[in-house]
Amino acid sequence: MKPIVAIAFLVFAANCFAQDKRDSEGPCKEIKEACEKAGFVKGEAKEGYGLWVDCIDPIMKGTAQPGKAKKPLPSVRPDLINACKAKHPNFGQGHKESNK
């Protein structure tokens, strides 16, 4: 009887981890991908097209881009932004970007 319980637990645990992965690939990932497709790059904030500072943060905060931004923001549906905020309230709320 114990092996059956162990197998059931393993199946349950695997499903939990699969759900976590799907959650991380949700609306926030779509916003990040939209920024990347628009030419924003992690670590390029000094150049004016940083992924977080020049794209994700302004989209999520509903503010204008920094004056040094060199690329326009991609169009992102408001419902996608709201879904991201609901799942991850701190996403895009002042991420520090490295300038490597």
**CA atoms in the 13 A half-sphere facing the CB of 48:** 6
pTM: 0.70
Backbone angles phi, psi at 57, to 5 degrees: -60, -50
Statement: residue 12 has pLDDT above 80: no
Domain assignment present for 43: yes
- Residues 37-62: pLDDT tens digits? 999 999 999 999 999 999 999 999 99
Domain containing residue 33: 26-87
Domain assignment present for 55: yes
Q: Taking Cα atoms as reference points, which of 96, 90, 38 lies closest to residue 60?
A: 90
Number of domains in the chain: 1
